[in-house]
Amino acid sequence: MSRRRQAGVSRALNVFGPFIGLILVIALFALIPEVQGRFLRAANFKSVATQSVIVALGALGMTLVIISGGIDLSAASNIALASVITAYAINAGAAPLAAVVLGVLTGGLVGLANGGLVTRLRLVPFIVTMGMMGIARGAAKWIAGNQKIDAPMTWVNELMAKSPRPSWLLLAPGIWLVIIFAVALAVALRYTVFGRHIYAVGSNEATARLCGVRTDRVKVLVYAVSGLFCGLSGVMEFSRLTVGDPTVAVGLELDIIAAVVIGGGSLSGGEGSILGTLVGVLIMSFLRNGCTMMGWPNYIQEIIIGAIIIVAVALDRLRHRKD
Amino acid sequence: MRSLPSTTLLIAFGAALALAACAERASGPPGAETVTIAVIPKGTTHEFWKSIHAGADRAARELGVEIYWKGPQKEDDRAQQITVVEDFISRGVDGIVLAPLDDRALMRPVRDAVREGIPVVIIDSALQGGDFTSYVATDNYQGGVLAARRLGGLLGGQGRIFLIRYQEGSASTVQREAGFYDTVTAEFPAIELLVKDQYAGATTETAYQLAENLISRFPDVDGVFTPNESSTFGTLRALQESRLAGRVVFVGFDSSPKLVQGLRDGEIQGLVLQDPDKMGYLGVKTMVAHLRGEPVEKVIDTGVVLATRENMDTPEIKALLTPGPTAIDD
């Protein structure tokens, strides 16, 4: 096999690998007669898409972090904190829009703190964000007084409604937000200087610095943007639950990271794509949905998702050995 | 040639999925016309939910319906329970029996289900609103009343006691505590409540610490009431450590092997028991009755009983104290 052909195969695998997984998962349930009629209905796809919004928003930010060679373990706690802040603000009589902005900014602030600590203290992102995971979760429980916050229903709770109002939206507003931000991020990653710098920092930080990239600034920005997405995701979590729950989304950061990795992101940095990440999110959502529809016990879907993560990373390694 | 191993991996992955599918399908009962009911607990690993599962299974066998037993992937995760309800709406089951993790967050998915023509029976914990067909649960207040009468009776109507609470915002235990408190103050006015606003917290460990601190402050306490399994066990441990177990009248709630041992050793004077098996059984049975067009009660009480050292070996109490395979078979 010629070198060029190898490169072609490798690129094809890069782009289509995650898609093959998604098609396999959908095909699997579409072929089971017991559920196929129900599984393939538009209403079910809409339901799966709505369920994916929270992980997807978190994963968009996480994609940037992982491309830059970092990791954000505080994502899920950040989501819980933002959802509690939003509920708290609405409960305290703030205008819903102000509460939403506050929730998103809270997420951004946590991200900013992550970025600042990683760059200023020269600490490993794993450690900084692991610490922040506890801090944000604790803060959420503190603010909520160790219980959930019941907030009055407002339009914020319509953001994740399966049947949106107005009905011409077709999909829940949350899904549209994911689509809009995904396109924006994909464009930014590919065509803006900031986007290229993220890849440069993740591929080889020292070289990037020597080439004049202000690596610290790039990293702080990346964590801050990731935090903003977690904040938005937290608002969506509140919208879905209709209560601010400080114990929600425990362990969700691993789902988010898994989505990025299944979608072709490399934990050693420099690689990953928005499209791949979204496919990764959908693979896991469709698996959950299909397994539940079949009435399969939870351990089956845990085993399958675990296997998929290993297969995805194995493919990732194969690609790297080639380079 | 590099593409070879990755292709192999993909095939292996596909085969694994297919295998999982086949393995499950082989055991699944056939028949397109069977009534299917989704039973959604708060979690799947606790003893309590296993008993509910056993009861639901028994009802399903008796009535010839099929049930899907599926909890949130992570215990006690509200968001994931919503997802499970939505997925069963998509699946188009005939009915849903749900133990809601939150009296408010599950309102919307339940309303969606009813709108899609899928009736919902609520078990174990309350749900706000009135979209559901029936509410099948323990009368928790009555459980607190039973505990208070046992404690007050053994103390001869006087003494100094602790009312240890479980956690803020937990509806079922708040009702148990209210039942206990109201009964003690109304029927045993000579009993003094040394502590009535302290929370044990979610785990055995936090309950243990609280009880230890209370005991060191009031070493001459005469009686203790705790409203659930973790607070009861944590308090039992603290009483054992401070050598007060057996000398203090202790009435708790729920059951576990360690608590049964405490009852047998005379360290616990009473355990109020719910009947989760009956709850699962009646949940499914009520749903089937509703689906067959029979009228059903809006609220169904599954009862509470008091287990003591004297009655703990009678068959009825024994089945509730030690749930599991033995309870499924009869």
What is the residue-wise DSSP string for A47-91? HHHHHHHHHHHHHHHHHHHHHTT---TTHHHHHHHHHHHHHHHHH
* pLDDT tens profile B109-158: 999 999 999 999 999 988 988 899 999 999 999 999 999 999 999 999 99
Decide if B75 touches A, using CB distance below 8 A.
Answer: no
- Hey, are the CB atoms on A1 and B2 less than 8 Å from each other? yes
* pLDDT tens profile A224-248: 999 999 999 999 999 998 889 898 8
Decide if A300 touches B, using CB distance below 8 A.
Answer: yes
Determine the pLDDT at residue B75: 73
* pLDDT tens profile B162-215: 999 998 767 788 899 999 999 999 999 999 999 888 888 877 888 998 999 999
- Hey, are the CB atoms on A9 and B25 less than 8 Å from each other? no
Determine the pLDDT at residue B206: 85
Report the residue from B28, B73, B168 with minimal CB separation from A146. Answer: B168
Residue in chain B nearest A300 by alpha carbon: B20
* pLDDT tens profile A164-191: 877 888 899 999 999 999 999 999 999 9
Residue in chain A nearest B44 by alpha carbon: A298
Q: From the CA of B20, how many Å to the nearest CA of chain A?
A: 8
Average pLDDT of chain A is 90
Using the predicted structure, report yes or no on whether residue B1 has a pLDDT greater than 70.
no
Determine the pLDDT at residue A235: 96
Contacts of A51 in chain B (CB under 8 A): 83, 86
* pLDDT tens profile B270-324: 999 999 999 999 999 999 999 999 999 999 999 999 999 999 999 989 988 886 5
**Contact indicator for A79, A241 with CB cutoff of 8 Å:** no
- Hey, are the CB atoms on A318 and B2 less than 8 Å from each other? yes
- Hey, are the CB atoms on A295 and B3 less than 8 Å from each other? no
Determine the pLDDT at residue A58: 97
Query: Chain B, 40-69: which have a CB under 8 Å from a chain A CB?
Result: 44, 68-69
- Hey, are the CB atoms on A147 and B169 less than 8 Å from each other? yes
Collapsing DSSP states into helix, strand and coil, what is residue A244? strand
Q: Which amino acid is at B284?
A: V
Query: Chain A, 17-46: which have a CB under 8 Å from a chain B CB?
Result: 17, 20-21, 24-25, 28, 32, 34-35, 38-39, 41, 43-44
Determine the pLDDT at residue A10: 64
Decide if A13 touches B, using CB distance below 8 A.
Answer: yes
Q: Where in chain B is the domain with CATH 3.40.50.2300?
A: 33-138+276-302, 140-273
- Hey, are the CB atoms on A32 and B25 less than 8 Å from each other? yes
Determine the pLDDT at residue B50: 87
Using the predicted structure, report yes or no on whether residue B326 has a pLDDT greater than 70.
no
Decide if B18 touches A, using CB distance below 8 A.
Answer: yes
**Contact indicator for A55, A230 with CB cutoff of 8 Å:** no
Q: From the CA of A197, how many Å to the nearest CA of chain B?
A: 31
Q: Is ipTM strictly over 0.95?
A: no
Q: From the CA of B13, how many Å to the nearest CA of chain A?
A: 7
- Hey, are the CB atoms on B18 and A240 less than 8 Å from each other? no
CA B283, CA B286: separation in Å to the nearest integer? 5
Decide if A308 touches B, using CB distance below 8 A.
Answer: yes
Report the residue from A38, A148, A311 with minimal CB separation from B92. Answer: A38
Decide if B117 touches A, using CB distance below 8 A.
Answer: no
Residue in chain B nearest A42 by alpha carbon: B90
Report the residue from A24, A240, A311 with minimal CB separation from B79. Answer: A240
Structure confidence at residue B21 as a pLDDT band (50, 70, 90): very low
Residue in chain B nearest A1 by alpha carbon: B1
CA B207, CA B213: separation in Å to the nearest integer? 10
| pLDDT average, residue stretch A50-68 | 96
- List CB contacts of A236: < 8 A, sequence separation 6 or more: A53, A54, A57, A159, A160, A174, A177
Residue-wise over A164-202: b if at least 16 C-beta within 10 A, else e? beeeeeebbbbbebbeebbeebbebbeeeeebebbbbbb
- Hey, are the CB atoms on A249 and B21 less than 8 Å from each other? no
Per-residue CA distances from A52 to A172, A281, A289, B37 (Å): 11, 7, 11, 25
- Hey, are the CB atoms on A9 and B2 less than 8 Å from each other? yes
Annotation: CATH topology of A52-322: ABC transporter involved in vitamin B12 uptake, BtuC (1.10.3470)
Residue in chain A nearest B43 by alpha carbon: A298
| pLDDT average, residue stretch A136-163 | 88
Q: From the CA of A165, how many Å to the nearest CA of chain B?
A: 15
Contacts of B73 in chain A (CB under 8 A): 288, 298, 301-302
Report the residue from B10, B17, B104 with minimal CB separation from A150. Answer: B104
Contacts of A38 in chain B (CB under 8 A): 90-92
* pLDDT tens profile A286-309: 988 888 888 888 888 889 888 888
Q: Tell me how far apart the terminal alpha carbons of chain B are, to the nearest angstrom.
A: 62
Other Cβ atoms closer than 10 A to A241: 24
The most confident of A16-20, A161-165, B15-19, B292-296, by mean pLDDT:
B292-296
Determine the pLDDT at residue B25: 42
- Hey, are the CB atoms on B79 and A39 less than 8 Å from each other? no
| pLDDT average, residue stretch A263-275 | 90
CA-based max dimension of chain B: 87
CA A58, CA A75: separation in Å to the nearest integer? 7
Mutation for testing the B interface, residue in A6, A291, A294, A318 having most B CBs under 10 Å: A294
Report the residue from B3, B9, B84 with minimal CB separation from A311. Answer: B9
Say what the alpha-carbon torsion angle A34, A38, A41, A43 is, to the nearest 10 degrees. Answer: -150
**Contact indicator for B147, B231 with CB cutoff of 8 Å:** no
Report the residue from B9, B105, B167 with minimal CB separation from A314. Answer: B9
Determine the pLDDT at residue A6: 63
- Hey, are the CB atoms on B20 and A300 less than 8 Å from each other? yes
Phi, psi of A27 (to 5 degrees): -60, -40
Contacts of A25 in chain B (CB under 8 A): 17
Collapsing DSSP states into helix, strand and coil, what is residue A129? helix
**Contact indicator for A62, A72 with CB cutoff of 8 Å:** yes
Annotation: CATH topology of B140-273: Rossmann fold (3.40.50)
The predicted model scores a pTM of 0.78
Annotation: CATH topology of B33-138+276-302: Rossmann fold (3.40.50)
Strands, E assignment, chain A: 149-150, 243-244
- Hey, are the CB atoms on A243 and B102 less than 8 Å from each other? yes
Structure confidence at residue A28 as a pLDDT band (50, 70, 90): confident
Query: Strand B299-301 and strand B249-253: pairing?
Result: unpaired
Q: From the CA of A98, how many Å to the nearest CA of chain B?
A: 22
